[in-house]
Amino acid sequence: MARILLLDDEEALLRLMADVLEHEGHDVITSTDGRRSEERDLIMTLDLVVTDLMMPNSDGLEVVRNVRSANPGLKILAISGGGRAVSQNYLPAAQALGADDILHKPFRPSAFLEKVKSLLVK
């Protein structure tokens, strides 16, 4: 199946997303920090990056820029909660920078899995 990098500083959500994807047979790498997107060798081995937008050290917008620079064809799913205003402002910005799709938190695991499946077949 696919090799997926999950980036989210909410550890419970990170584990839930990883469990959902691993149950589907995907190889999942997790990190609570967006700095993993700076690892070009890693980025070149992935099929998908799922990134939260609001994280310490390196936010999701920076992740999108890093991934697009290192591997322009790599699919990116940007996720965000943090209140209505944050989601409304940052998710469209993530798409403008190159995220292939967005998902508002909170979300159901089934909605998350559908977004992932859709991006992996594109």
| Domain coordinates in residue numbering, the chain | 3-121
For 7-36, how does the pLDDT look when each residue is reduced to its tens digit (9 = 90+)? 999 999 999 999 999 999 999 999 999 999
Token pair for residue 106? 């909170």
Q: Are 46 and 70 in contact (CB under 8 A)?
A: no
Question: CA angle, 114 as apex, 5 and 116 as ends, to 5°?
Answer: 20
Can you tell me the distance from the alpha carbon of 50 to that of 43, in angstroms, rounded to the nearest whole number? Answer: 12
Confidence band, pLDDT 50/70/90 cuts, at residue 87: very low
The reported pLDDT for the residue numbered 90 is 84
Confidence band, pLDDT 50/70/90 cuts, at residue 82: low
Q: Are 86 and 55 in contact (CB under 8 A)?
A: no
The CATH architecture assigned to 3-121 reads 3-Layer(aba) Sandwich (3.40)
pTM of the model: 0.94
How many residues are given for the chain? 122
